[in-house]
Amino acid sequence: MGGGRGDHGIDHAGGEGPLIGSFTDSAGNFLNNLIMGQFVGVPAGKVTFNASGAIVGALRLESPDVEGIHLATNGATFTATNITMSNATTLDGNTNLGTTGGPILFSSTLDGGNHNLNFVAGPGTVTFVGAVTNIGTGTGAAIAIASIGLVDFQSTVAGNSGIRSTGSLGSTKFSGDVTLASSGTASIFDGSVNFDGMTWSGSNGLTVNGAATLSSGAVSLNSNGGAILFASTLNGVNQNLTIDSGSGTLTIDSGSGTATFQGALTNMGTGSGAAITLASTGLVDFQSTVIGAGGIDSSMASGSTKFQDSVTLASSGTGSTFEGAVNFDGMSWSGFDGLTVNGAATLSSGAVSLNSNGGAILFASTLDGGSQNLSIDSGSGTATL
């Protein structure tokens, strides 16, 4: 490796420690733009970009050492056409990476080392193949995403604060469980999100401003008392959804004190068991239509549910049961396998039609008609008020 200013235009300080492993661009050329740090523990390649800069072409880092790649930009931003980490990678400082439209690939695990990761990827796909662990300092977003492409987490994610994605044209996919500790920073996604048969446990809130999709398996979202916001549509793709917002809200406006789906819910449920399971002591407000295969189960007596548009639920053998209060707000309900409201029921804003398609209908507590008309069709089933 030559000293001085290399082919890529960033000074190389060759005397700051030897390079262990192979750090090359996509053509196999040694890079002369690396400021090498000292070894940590057993010998391992440690790469520090101590000034913002860019290379023309792809950056590929790999190391034959068992500890893999140690990477940091220490607040600077490093940009290349595309970036590949070929080994297990550890962040040794807060790290900012960017591409000029190409992909970013972490081919193995990423140990955040309790540091934040920020990246800008344009339309290129960002892929995390292995588990992401120890990500985030606990201050600000553990992972900050600015991309109009797909960010694909193929394994588990464990961090010390929320994830922030600012690209409204971008998308994020989670195929493994996500566990985020409380830090005061919520997870917010301005683009679409695919929850791919996984469990989310986070704090300080979860907001999806773009379209949300469930795929490949049941999804469980637990906000540990924080607000959950779906600001657009939710396509269940025939998967079951469990929501536990504790004493927090499931909401389109975290300041409104309500818990709401603003957009339509479609294709909810597998057809086995409850299509939607609610375990919240706050209000869950469905402001648009709900279509699913299976009932809706709300297990908290202190919680409440509001339906502002039509609900259409196919038969799964599981009826709909609400332990808390329910507000039927000028809408029609068509479901199977029974409808039970154990809390106080209210009609509001318009006439309400309830059709159980032969299943039993039970109002176990009070029913306040709100000066609205109520039509009940239980077919051969029993209707009890």
HSE at residue 360, side-chain half, CA atoms within 13 A, is 11
66 with 115, same domain: the answer is: no
Query: Is the per-residue pLDDT at 95 higher than 90?
Result: yes
Predicted local distance difference test score (pLDDT) of residue 51: 61
Selection from 253, 210, 199, 198 nearest residue 228 by Cα: 253
Range of weakest confidence among 88-92, 105-109, 280-284: 280-284
Q: Distance between CA 142 and CA 294 in Å, rounded? A: 37
34 with 159, same domain: the answer is: no
Other CB atoms closer than 10 Å to residue 153's CB: what's the count?
Answer: 24
Residue that the structure tokens 């793709």 belong to: 237
Selection from 279, 273, 274 nearest residue 259 by Cα: 279
pTM for the whole structure: 0.84
Query: Is the per-residue pLDDT at 26 higher than 50?
Result: no
Range of weakest confidence among 6-10, 64-68, 142-146: 6-10
Q: Average pLDDT of 175-179? A: 97
180 with 71, same domain: the answer is: no
Query: Is the per-residue pLDDT at 14 higher than 70?
Result: no
145 with 26, same domain: the answer is: no
Query: Is the per-residue pLDDT at 21 higher than 60?
Result: no
27 with 142, same domain: the answer is: no
**What is the 8-class DSSP label of residue 217?**
S
DSSP 257-312: T--EE-SPEEEE--SSS-SEEEEESSEEEE-S-EEEES-EEE--TT-EEEE-S-EE
257 with 345, same domain: the answer is: yes
φ and ψ at residue 14, rounded to 5 degrees: -70, -15
27 with 148, same domain: the answer is: no
Taking only the tens place, the pLDDT of each residue in 287-315 is 999 999 999 999 889 889 999 999 999 99
Q: Give the domain-ending residue among 69, 94, 119.
A: 94
315 with 232, same domain: the answer is: yes
Q: Distance between CA 286 and CA 250 in Å, rounded? A: 10
198 with 122, same domain: the answer is: yes
Q: Distance between CA 318 and CA 330 in Å, rounded? A: 25
130 with 39, same domain: the answer is: no
Q: How far is the CA of 52 from the CAs of 31, 75, 134, 155, 185, in angstroms?
A: 16, 9, 25, 30, 26
Other CB atoms closer than 10 Å to residue 152's CB: what's the count?
Answer: 19
271 with 158, same domain: the answer is: yes
Q: How many domains does the chain have?
A: 2
DSSP 131-153: -EEEE--SSS-SEEEEESSEEEE
Cβ contacts of residue 35 below 8 Å, gap of 6+? Answer: 11, 12, 13, 16, 47, 48, 49, 50
Predicted confidence band of residue 40 (pLDDT cuts 50, 70, 90) = very low
Q: Give the domain-ending residue among 43, 60, 94.
A: 94
149 with 222, same domain: the answer is: yes
Predicted confidence band of residue 68 (pLDDT cuts 50, 70, 90) = confident
- Whether 375 and 352 have beta carbons less than 8 Å apart is answered as yes
Q: Distance between CA 156 and CA 222 in Å, rounded? A: 16
User: Domain limits at 21?
Assistant: 1-94
Q: Give the domain-ending residue among 94, 126, 153.
A: 94
Query: Is the per-residue pLDDT at 20 higher than 60?
Result: no
Q: Distance between CA 101 and CA 122 in Å, rounded? A: 5
